[in-house]
Chain A
Amino acid sequence: MTLWRRYVIPAWQQPVIRWMAFLGALMAIGVGAALVVFTRGLVVTNLSDLVPWGLWISIDLSSIALAAGAFSVSAIAYLLRRKELQPVAKTAVYVGFVGYSIAMMMLLLDIGRPDRFWHGFVFWNIHSPLWEVTMCVGLYFSVLMMEVMPIIGHWHVVEERFPRISARMVGIHRITPVLAFVGLCLSTLHQSSLGLTYGKLIARPIWYGPWPMAITFYSSAIIGGVALVTFISLFSAKLTPHARINKQVLDKLAHGVGWAVLFLLVFRWWNLMSMPVGYEAGKSEALHILTRGRLAFNFWWLEIMLGMVMPAILLLIPYFRRNERLRMLALVLVAVGVVAYRWDTNLVGQLVVFGTVPGSDVPLFTSYTPSLVEILTGVGVIAYGLLAITFGVRYLNVIHHGEVVEAPAEASVPAAMVPSSSR
């Protein structure tokens, strides 16, 4: 009873604890729904033979895309030697780690035989983009784990109780530049191959086109990832003193995102609109769905207007950029736009199945709305992500950009990674 009075009640009065408890509850519901999926099989979803990839794949694609801030910021900080970005890289790596773990949970649910998740590593089909994605995501996740080790090592619980393990974990930061390089390679491979996964399919004319798909997936991942990391940093700094940011650096990133979003707009347009003016079976119908049909709101508003045009205006015009709220809004809109892009892309190729003989068949229109179980598991996994980020900001100091200590020339150690005792 005293324990209750001494610890639980005061804790409950903190908004962050209530927020974390709320997320924990969503997670618990998600775990329950996932158990339903594992016991009853994928029949509980609204997926079908005609639309086999749905909400989970969209969440998986989005979280991988938004996790791309990890490799991009790390590459800028460690390979292009922009030292001022090294503390931001730490934030990015943590967000990336959370993003990839979300993706892996979603995939585990989505495949029909979760017990065989390891088959991709043992049975190779080097011609399949999905095989490449499996390998790269697996390897890159281990890179991210190594990059996250020093952050965990600095957690005061680990530092105090297991000082030796803590020292080991913190020691990994010495190879951070190497990890940044490996991460850049692996991410470039699989972020673009995720686009190729769709672009390779001759059966789906709206997707078919390996180059545009690979390029738009890769570039939108980088832009969305950097935008999300910047947003999370700015937003956390608003909410809690646990997050300390360097506004100048983040402003620079935000400005860069503003320009990049314009390039993204060009790529997206090129991908979609560079097509014959005439009728092309399957492609024309899919384009209609995207621009006039079910996905039109997503496409024009979430993707193009709110996801690209608005952020570009808000981030590039100095008058708007100086307003901090608008800047944060713009950054989160970029991330929303990337999610919408993944959702639209995944669905548009499946909502129309064209006939088996050119010219003689009417295309078959299909439909898909996620089932309750799909939504609950998806929400549960996203709640896990938010909880992990909250935890990271609150206890692992992942947003500590404030003190940029000029690192010694020999070891380019990010300021935030110097053991706290020496600060």
Chain B
Amino acid sequence: MATKIDRREFLKLGLAATATAAVGIGMSNQKLIPLPMAAPEASTKTHGPENPPHKWVMVIDQSKCVGCDLCLAACHAYNDTPPNMSWSRVEEVAPTDEGKRVYRPIPCQHCQDAPCVEVCPVGATYHRYDGLVMMDYDKCIGCRYCMLACPYGVRHFNWEAFTGPNPDVPAAGHPEIERRPRGVVEKCSFCVQRIDRGLATGLKPGIDPDATPACVVACTYGARLFGDLNDPDSPVSVALRNAPDAYRLREELGTDTRVYYIPAKSAEENAL
């Protein structure tokens, strides 16, 4: 028998090893994995980049939203989602004082400190260079932990494969991305394919429709705005400057989201 150390010795060794490891981990600045397999952009960070070149933000003006779901139809078409799944949802919330109905559309909030990114065991959901929260459908194992972690309930699972025609095509638009396979989680991407295509061709996301998320373009009431918060002249920067009462969802969780809401005001408040 090889183990000839007594218990005291054993415990001492164990304690020393643990302490060494703890100090090592503490000093290593979290770079625990030198392996190439630990994709750096995907899994060593749980919060988005500090100073992204573009800070994409969506502003939703609840006083303009009428709950018509045009944005959802466009989203269904451009992102080719099945009819029983919506990347955004439009909730009806408490009416204003004079009884005007108020809606709140909820897309993925693209949190800077995203709970889903933190908990995904394989790093299939991650922050892109500009801080958008993305899905890697080739990595996702479909454990659905991120769905439990998301405080906004915007993640959806492909319980079955989406086959057959998309009822919103061609009325509301044309698919721009591939359909996702059965068994993976998906969510709103801020139409990242449109942003990237627009940037590559010199367009300005938020201003040029071809470079702006489909839901923003589809909204005939102008309730959804999109743009770069780093650019002081972008539609979102202007709108937020003029709306000091803009709020974000569940700010107390510290998720630091990228979707701002301008509350619907009663007629009285509007007159002020």
Chain A residues at the B interface, C-beta cutoff of 8 Å: 40-43, 45, 47-50, 52-53, 79-81, 110-113, 116-117, 119-120, 122-131, 133-134, 174-175, 177-178, 197, 200-204, 349-350, 353, 356-358, 360-361, 410-412
Cβ proximity bits B78-107 to A, threshold 8 Å, 1 near / 0 not: 000000000000010110000000001010
Q: How far is the CB of B153 from chain A (nearest CB, A)?
A: 6
8 shortest A-B CB distances, which residue pairs? A112-B142, A112-B183, A203-B151, A52-B144, A131-B121, A43-B160, A130-B121, A125-B43
When C-beta atoms are compared, the residue in chain A nearest to B109 turns out to be A356
> B243 to chain A: closest CB distance in Å?
16
- Sample 29 A-B pairs with CB under 8 A, ordered by A number: A42-B183, A49-B155, A52-B148, A79-B7, A80-B7, A112-B140, A112-B141, A112-B185, A113-B142, A113-B181, A113-B183, A117-B141, A123-B42, A123-B43, A124-B43, A124-B122, A124-B123, A125-B121, A128-B119, A129-B119, A197-B119, A200-B118, A203-B115, A203-B150, A349-B148, A350-B148, A356-B151, A357-B104, A361-B93
Partner of A131, one of B44, B122, B152: B122
Residues of A within 8 A of B174 (CB): none
CA distance A200 to B120 in the complex (A): 12
Check B237 for interface membership: any CB of A closer than 8 A.
no
Main secondary structure of the interface of B (DSSP, over half): loop
A42-B159, A42-B183, A123-B139 are known contacts; what are 11 more A-B pairs with Cβ within 8 Å? A41-B161, A45-B159, A112-B157, A116-B139, A116-B142, A117-B141, A134-B121, A197-B145, A357-B247, A357-B249, A361-B93
Collect the chain B residues with CB atoms within 8 Å of residue A412's CB: 1
Contact call B122/A120, Cβ cutoff below 8 A: yes
User: In whole angstroms, what is the CA distance A81 to B6 when docked?
Assistant: 10
The chain A residue sitting closest to B11, CB to CB, is A79
How many chain-B residues does the 8 Å CB contact rule pick out? 61
Report the separation of the CA atoms of residues A124 and B155 in the bound assembly, to the nearest whole angstrom.
21
Chain B interface (Cβ < 8 Å from any Cβ of A): 1-3, 7, 10, 30, 32-33, 35, 37-39, 42-44, 46, 91, 93-94, 104, 106, 115, 118-124, 139-145, 147-153, 155-161, 181-185, 247, 249-250, 252-253, 255
Shortest distance between the CB of A201 and any CB in chain B (Å): 5
What is the CA–CA distance of A124 and B119 in the complex, to the nearest angstrom? 11
Whose C-beta in chain A lies nearest to the C-beta of B145? A130
Interface pair B183/A201, CB less than 8 Å apart = no
Q: Are B250 and A358 in contact (CB under 8 A)?
A: yes
Chain A's interface: helix, strand, loop or mixed, by majority? loop
Q: How far is the CA of A112 from the CA of B124 in the complex (A)?
A: 13
How far apart are B112's CB and chain A's nearest CB, in angstroms? 14
* Contact of A119 with B119 in the complex, beta carbons under 8 Å: no
Residues of B within 8 A of A50 (CB): 153
Q: Chain A: which residue is nearest B254 at the CB level?
A: A202
Chain B residues closer than 8 Å to A349, beta-carbon distance: 148
In the assembled complex, the CB of A210 is this many whole angstroms from the nearest CB of chain B, namely 12
| A123 and B1 contact, Cβ closer than 8 Å, known pairs A356-B249, A357-B249 | no
The answer to whether B141 and A201 have CB atoms under 8 Å apart is: no
Give the residues in chain B near A42, CB-CB below 8 Å.
142, 157, 159-160, 183
The residue in chain B whose Cβ has the minimal distance to the Cβ of A185 is B14
Beyond A49-B157, A123-B42, A126-B32, whether A178 also contacts B148 by CB under 8 A is: no
Is B139 touching A119 in the complex (CB atoms < 8 A)? yes
Q: Decide if B160 touches A126 in the complex (CB within 8 Å).
A: no
Measured between beta carbons, the chain A residues less than 8 angstroms from B252 are 358
Chain B residue nearest to A118 (CB atoms) is: B141
In the docked arrangement, what's the CA distance between A410 and B144, Å? 50
Residue among A110, A128, A204 making CB contact with B120, cutoff 8 Å: A128
A178 to B46, CA, bound (A): 36
Question: Is the Cβ of A124 less than 8 Å from the Cβ of B38?
Answer: yes
Please determine whether B119 and A178 come into contact, CB atoms closer than 8 angstroms: no
**Contact at B159–A124, with CB atoms within 8 Å?**
no
Contact A410-B43, Cβ < 8 Å, known A40-B160, A130-B121: no
CB <8 Å contact, B148 and A53: yes
Least CB distance, B186 to chain A, in whole angstroms: 11
Measured between alpha carbons, how far is A111 from B157 in the docked complex, in Å?
A: 11
Contact, CB under 8 Å: B141 / A125? no
Please give, as numbers and ranges, the residues of chain A lying within 8 Å of B147 by CB-CB distance.
49, 52
Is the CB–CB distance between B121 and A126 below 8 Å? no
